[in-house]
Chains A and B, each alone.
Chain A
Amino acid sequence: MASIQIEKLEKSYGHVSVLHGVDLDIADGEFIVLVGPSGCGKSTLLRMIAGLEDVSSGEIRIAGNRVNDLHPKDRDIAMVFQSYALYPHMTVAQNMSYSLRLRNIAKDTIGSAVAAAASKLGLDPLLERRPKALSGGQRQRVAMGRAIVRQPKAFLFDEPLSNLDARLREQMRAEIKKMHGDLKATSIYVTHDQIEAMTLADRIVAMHGGVVQQIGSPLELYDRPANLFVAGFIGSPGMNFLAATYAGGSVRLADGTLVALETVPALADGESVTLGIRPEHVVIANDGSGMRAAVELVEPTGFGIILHLSLHGLPFKIFTLDREALNSGKEIGVRFPAQYLHLFGTDEQRIA
């Protein structure tokens, strides 16, 4: 296992720049999740660490050694691909042992390493099968087994669960977490699924447009998103945003309602801001207090209820566990508790 440092890493294809100076320090044994929408550069970053893409400028160090010009085979990393990328003409055992065979490791050592990995992943009865005789979940396990059969410096995961159905994805997610707990291996995991990011990561790296938006623990990103992008990306359903202007310790919404803030930010009166609040933090006020919002759609999820509202003519969502919400009429009242408010400036950065 090893630490990984990334410094001022840039990537461009011709004149198109896809990564704009990424800095990232990954500690030994840490589980890092790169998350962001399609095209944000997260997969490119992972592939650069793996050595599958050239570095345009900047530096990647694994265990202190600069690896920019090293071939993938010399970086001593393992990778799990979204497509699994199993060798179809080899059996499961051969797939898993391929990396060890390439290193000319003694047969008995290979045998025991494969057996250990197989039993860890429950693959023992499948060792002699070819990939085409496996289900999607089993293929996924073989891809993981191929990675853990040797002790690489780091594990890279490129959206490994996105081809699985929801139930299996949940199960594999837990298994990956458990495996990381056992192996304590430095891992970098790419996903566009914020739930995967939240549940797996020691630290999340939120990316957008080739720029790192925020690095922090899952709860940091959830509680104190650094900017509008992170605020909107983390959490489901996504955060509500309302245009507002600052007015001495409160913000004034479009309809003139004043919403009190918990702390007093360094803002001049009349400055425009964006107010954010998560759907699960909005309080339904049926006693007549609070703002009135029109109910447009009610989505029961079983666990809770998502209300799609129209507040001042703008879409607004509430997530509530209160089943009473199912019977809400055409209009309900909503209140914003001050401790759950997020305030963003015109530059989209967090103010408070």
Chain B
Amino acid sequence: MKRSVLPTIAHRLAILCYIAFALFPLFWLLKVSVTPNDLLYSEGVRLWPSRTTWDHYAFVLQHSAFPTFFKNSVIVAASTAVVVTICASLSGYALSRFSFRAKYLIVALMLLTQMFPLVMLVAPIFKILSPLGLTNSLTGLVIVYTAFNVPFATFLMQSFFDGIPKDLEEAAMIDGATKFIAFRQIILPLTLPGIAATLGFVFTAAWSELLFALMLINGNSAATFPVGLLTFVSKFSVDFGQMMAAGVMALIPAALFFLLIQRYLVQGLTAGAVKG
């Protein structure tokens, strides 16, 4: 059957508009980061500067603490993502498959933690972490981020486990697997899309978190990249070129990470398991 061309064109145009709208800030980031300082204010509003330069990138890499921020952020975001995903996989599986006393109380408590604005919690958390020597440390940040991300990640993982038919585990157990082997060899491989989604979600959340990083960290040595970006704002001026260059480079790991996991995000691994 031949489909009419017009709706297809309209469809593509709509998508194009959406993409342009969504990506414009990123484009502007890139544009400013390659604009030489002398052209930044002199050329007016242009889509692309008449002359481009990599100077900002070079400066940020060589003369700022950006590499430290970057390293700190990678450590914090990756550790948080891994720790949260492990916790959430186990707790999500438990919520999905087992019935136990106080299950609904636990679910209610986890939901409750999601209801408070984080700002309210900054002071008490500082109070808790400070005597433990966990302020101004990456470990402290990882602990705080993990605590805040586990509830939502648990619900996310639970919904993925719910989507895997119980028959599969039962078949594995009858085939001779223990509950844990069935979990590891049958359920976990099928939850890869869910694990990828959770990893990605938590990684980005931790990567871009500003509030706690700002409150719990002082000085450059343990600062993460969102805090570090603020160092480009000085009392008298904002160095936009360098700030944007740092911003572009900060996007790279997140983009790489999603490139890595997108295969699992889009793949429906459970297709064909049961009649459907």
Contact = CB atoms under 8 A, between A and B. Distances in A.
A88 B271 contact: yes
Contacts of B221: none
Contacts of B174: 50-52, 72-73, 77-79
Contacts of A50: 170, 174
Contacts of A73: 173-178
Interface in A63-107: 71-73, 77-79, 81, 83-89, 98-99, 102-103
B170 A88 contact: no
A99 B275 contact: no
B167 A72 contact: no
Interface string B173-200: 1111110010000100110000000000
Nearest to A156: B174
A134 B189 CA distance: 20
B196 to A, nearest CB: 14
Contacts of A72: 170, 173-174
A163 interface: yes
A136 B275 contact: yes
A79 B169 CA distance: 12
Interface stretch (A125-133, A171-179, A342-350): A125-133
A139 interface: yes
A51 B174 CA distance: 8
A141 interface: no
Given A81-B170, A85-B165, A87-B168, A99 B176 contact: yes
B274 interface: yes
Contacts of A85: 165, 167-168, 170-171, 273-274
Contact of A52 (B170, B190, B271, B273): B170
A131 B272 contact: yes
Interface in A44-58: 50-52
A252 interface: no
Given A50-B174, A52-B173, A79-B174, A132 B275 contact: no
A177 B175 CA distance: 23
A146 interface: yes
Contacts of B123: none
A132 B274 contact: no
Given A72-B173, A73-B174, A134-B272, A89 B189 contact: yes
Given A73-B176, A81-B167, A103-B176, 17 more contacts: A50-B174, A73-B173, A73-B178, A78-B175, A84-B274, A86-B171, A86-B273, A86-B274, A88-B270, A88-B273, A99-B175, A131-B272, A132-B272, A133-B272, A134-B272, A136-B275, A163-B275
Interface of B: 165, 167-168, 170-178, 181, 186, 189-190, 269-275
30 contacts: A51-B174, A71-B173, A71-B178, A72-B170, A72-B173, A73-B174, A73-B175, A73-B176, A73-B177, A78-B174, A83-B167, A83-B275, A84-B274, A85-B171, A85-B273, A85-B274, A86-B272, A86-B273, A87-B168, A87-B172, A88-B271, A88-B272, A89-B190, A99-B175, A102-B177, A132-B271, A134-B272, A139-B272, A139-B275, A146-B171
